[in-house]
């Protein structure tokens, strides 16, 4: 059993920013709390690392908070929480300055000003970026900064299985209970194979997204919705899971499934144009903003065009961008495409939508508090109300940074009145055996991904959702039977989490009887 003051689950911008703030706050104080950050892979592997485009903020005098707020509300179909939108936009510049102070670099012009890009749905140039690897640069800077502190321990290859609550003390915990508390997590030490109790006074979930529930995604393999699923099992509140954003332009490679290489929206912001097989600038048929319309509109336009033409992709024409700008601003995309025989300075890039970002998740207030006491959450795992029905490009890293700060302030405020719960039972593994066929887990995961991609994608229908619900139910029953008699493993736990996520996405989609933002059903086209 391990006892820590602050437990962080996840090593992206949200978790690392929060942990860094704690380290700095207590640096010159008499009390030096123990901070533990666990990550199921190595610390550099997170959704943050794969964010190419950048981070949106109002730092240009010609821009304004009001314009950024309105752009966010318009993209989110005005079902955003306006208080939250205001909070994130107005606090964004200060959080950017902190990232810079921690060592994150963003591209500058020769005169020393930051180069600001423009992406879909934005009315001004306000995207700070570092080439086309912004997330990777932020992740590097945060990890370098946190290594300077000796009171934070990073445990890699630790998989958080479940939140510890009164349920584990034999009490009845339901979603209606008002005093549910989090005492820490049960975590699988992947090296030893043992499940450990990690008890904490305050726990932060910063576990990222759900991309892996679809067969093609821009997310890394770790994005299996673990934090959301754990919170749901602990009877915490979750909402708006139907709003899954598909990035319009992932690199298409025939026969390739799984992790797709992202072609950042910043490329369209720089002038690249989406074209169909006839070479037409087809998005203008769907929206006057063309290739720079919000992502939900562009993704549906591509989906529609692909179905009309019977094609598996459309084309992105970046040849209209100056060659030197292409190579300077998008070096990783240029290099990646070059390696597979595509010269983006003259060749069209084959692209298709891929699962990218979740706008729903764990419900939190403006202080990053969940419905479970002493459990905080921030980043993509949460539903803050910022994004509404559709996320505005490059608002996600901004949201994570702002809410990490709110979580930090809440944690520091609450820590003095919180104690560890001592009588937590050890993980019960009685009656389990090592599985003989891991192929069963892998097959169920693949089946689940195909169900979601085929029936709960960009365009949905009541019949598709009904089929998805039924087939997910069969996979759930098989997996629970396997779980009861099998030794705990990361693949099995991830599969259980993914099934929970699929259930929540499908249920949310079934309950929303309107077309809005990222949820579009052919049954409500004429309403």
What average pLDDT does the segment 431-456 reach? 87
524 occurs within a structural domain: no
Per-residue pLDDT at 156 exceeds 90? yes
- Measured distance CA(270)–CA(118) in Å, rounded: 7
Q: Is residue 132 domain-shared with residue 216, that is, in the same domain? A: yes
Backbone angles phi, psi at 129, to 5 degrees: -150, 160
Per-residue pLDDT at 257 exceeds 90? no
Q: What is the CATH number of the domain that holds 187?
A: 3.50.50.60
Q: Is residue 324 domain-shared with residue 364, that is, in the same domain? A: no
Q: Is residue 230 domain-shared with residue 259, that is, in the same domain? A: no
Q: Tell me, what's the pLDDT at 395?
A: 97
Q: Is residue 90 domain-shared with residue 220, that is, in the same domain? A: yes
Q: Tell me, what's the pLDDT at 503?
A: 98
Q: Tell me, what's the pLDDT at 392?
A: 95
423 occurs within a structural domain: no
370 occurs within a structural domain: yes
What average pLDDT does the segment 311-327 reach? 94
Q: Is residue 140 domain-shared with residue 88, that is, in the same domain? A: yes
Q: Is residue 200 domain-shared with residue 114, that is, in the same domain? A: yes
Q: Tell me, what's the pLDDT at 453?
A: 95
Pick the closest to residue 357 from 392, 309, 401, 314 (CA basis).
392
What average pLDDT does the segment 420-447 reach? 84
30 occurs within a structural domain: yes
Per-residue pLDDT at 91 exceeds 90? yes
**How deeply is 168 buried, as exposed, middle or buried, from its count of CB atoms within 10 A (0-12, 13-18, 19+)?**
buried
Q: Which of 294-298, 344-348, 443-447, 471-475 has the lowest mean pLDDT?
A: 294-298
Q: What is the CATH number of the domain that holds 274?
A: 3.90.700.10
Burial profile 423-446: b = 16 or more Cβ within 10 angstroms, e = fewer? ebeebeeeeeeebeeeebbeebbe
216-217 and 258-259 strand pairing: parallel
13 occurs within a structural domain: yes
Q: Which helix (H) or strand (E) holds 355?
A: strand 349-358
Q: What is the CATH number of the domain that holds 475?
A: 1.20.58.100
Q: Is residue 188 domain-shared with residue 326, that is, in the same domain? A: no
295 is catalytic: yes
Q: Is residue 94 domain-shared with residue 142, that is, in the same domain? A: yes
| Domain C-terminal end among 354, 385, 401 | 354
Residue-wise pLDDT tens digits, 370-422: 999 999 999 999 999 999 999 999 999 999 999 999 999 999 999 988 999 98
Alpha-carbon distance values, 187 to 192, 298, 348, 422, 504 (Å)? 11, 40, 46, 17, 24
Q: Is residue 375 domain-shared with residue 275, that is, in the same domain? A: no
Q: Tell me, what's the pLDDT at 346?
A: 95
Q: Is residue 98 domain-shared with residue 187, that is, in the same domain? A: yes
What does pTM read for this prediction? 0.95
- Which residues share a beta bridge with 358? 244
Residue-wise pLDDT tens digits, 453-497: 999 999 999 999 999 999 999 999 999 998 888 889 999 999 999
Q: Is residue 486 domain-shared with residue 376, that is, in the same domain? A: no
425 occurs within a structural domain: no
Quote the domain boundaries for residue 272: 248-354
Q: Tell me, what's the pLDDT at 53?
A: 81
Per-residue pLDDT at 435 exceeds 70? no
Query: CB–CB of 368/402 below 8 Å?
Result: no
300 occurs within a structural domain: yes
Backbone angles phi, psi at 62, to 5 degrees: -80, -15
Per-residue pLDDT at 167 exceeds 80? yes
Report how many helices (DSSP H) and strands (DSSP E) the chain contains, helices first: 13, 19
Residue-wise pLDDT tens digits, 189-216: 999 999 999 999 999 999 999 999 999 9
Percent of the chain with pLDDT over 70: 99
Q: Is residue 233 domain-shared with residue 294, that is, in the same domain? A: no
What average pLDDT does the segment 25-41 reach? 91
253 occurs within a structural domain: yes
Q: Tell me, what's the pLDDT at 436?
A: 59
Q: Tell me, what's the pLDDT at 438?
A: 81
Tell me how many domains the chain contains. Answer: 3
CA atoms within 13 A on the CB side of 274: 36
Average pLDDT score over the chain: 94
One of 49, 95, 126, 295 is an active-site residue; which one?
295
Q: Tell me, what's the pLDDT at 437?
A: 67
């Amino acid at each position: 059993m391990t006892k820590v003051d602050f437990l962080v689950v996840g090593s992206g911008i949200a978790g690392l920013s929060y942990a860094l703030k704690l380290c700095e706050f207590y640096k010159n104080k008499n009390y030096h709390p123990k901070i533990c950050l666990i990550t199921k892979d190595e610390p550099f592997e997170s959704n943050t690392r794969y964010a190419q485009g950048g981070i949106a903020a109002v730092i240009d005098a010609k821009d304004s908070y009001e314009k950024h707020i309105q752009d966010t509300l318009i993209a989110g179909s005005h079902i955003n929480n306006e208080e939250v939108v205001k909070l994130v936009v107005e606090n964004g510049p200060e959080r950017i300055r902190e990232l810079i102070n921690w060592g994150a670099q963003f591209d500058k012009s020769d005169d020393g000003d930051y180069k600001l890009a423009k992406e879909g749905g934005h009315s001004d140039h306000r995207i700070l970026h570092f080439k086309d690897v912004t997330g990777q640069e932020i992740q590097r800077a945060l990890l370098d900064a946190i290594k300077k502190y000796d009171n934070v321990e990073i445990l890699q290859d630790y998989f958080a299985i479940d939140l510890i609550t009164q349920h584990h003390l034999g009490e009845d915990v339901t979603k209606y209970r008002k005093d549910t508390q989090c005492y820490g997590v049960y975590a699988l030490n992947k090296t030893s194979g043992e499940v450990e109790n990690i008890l904490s006074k305050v726990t932060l979930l910063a576990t990222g997204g759900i991309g892996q529930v679809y067969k093609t995604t821009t997310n890394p393999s770790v994005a299996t919705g673990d934090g959301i699923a754990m919170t749901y099992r602990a009877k915490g509140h979750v909402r708006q899971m139907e709003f899954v954003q598909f990035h319009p332009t992932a690199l298409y490679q025939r026969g390739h499934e799984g992790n797709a290489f992202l072609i950042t929206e910043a490329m369209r912001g720089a002038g690249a144009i989406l074209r169909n097989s006839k070479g037409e600038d087809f998005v203008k048929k769907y929206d006057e903003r063309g290739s720079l319309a919000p992502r939900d509109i562009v993704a549906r336009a591509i989906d529609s065009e692909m179905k009309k033409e019977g094609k598996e992709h459309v084309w992105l024409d970046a040849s209209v961008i100056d060659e030197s700008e292409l190579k300077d601003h998008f070096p990783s995309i240029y290099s990646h495409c070059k390696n597979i025989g595509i010269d983006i300075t003259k060749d069209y890039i084959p692209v298709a939508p891929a699962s990218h970002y979740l706008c729903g998740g764990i419900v939190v207030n403006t202080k990053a508090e969940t419905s479970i006491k002493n459990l905080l959450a921030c980043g993509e795992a949460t539903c803050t109300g910022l994004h509404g029905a559709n996320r505005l490009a490059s608002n996600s890293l901004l949201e994570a940074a702002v809410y990490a700060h709110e979580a930090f302030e809440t944690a520091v405020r609450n820590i003095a009145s919180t104690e560890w719960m001592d009588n937590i039972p050890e993980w019960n593994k009685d009656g389990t055996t090592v599985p003989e066929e891991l192929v069963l887990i892998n097959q169920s995961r693949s089946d689940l991904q195909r169900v979601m991609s085929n029936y709960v994608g960009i365009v949905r229908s009541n019949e598709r959702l009904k089929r998805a619900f039924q087939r997910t139910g069969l996979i759930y029953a098989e997996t629970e039977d396997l779980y009861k008699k099998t030794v705990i493993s990361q693949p099995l736990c991830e599969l259980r989490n993914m099934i929970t996520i699929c259930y929540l996405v499908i249920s949310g989609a079934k309950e929303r009887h309107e077309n809005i933002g990222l949820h579009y059903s052919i049954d409500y086209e004429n309403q």
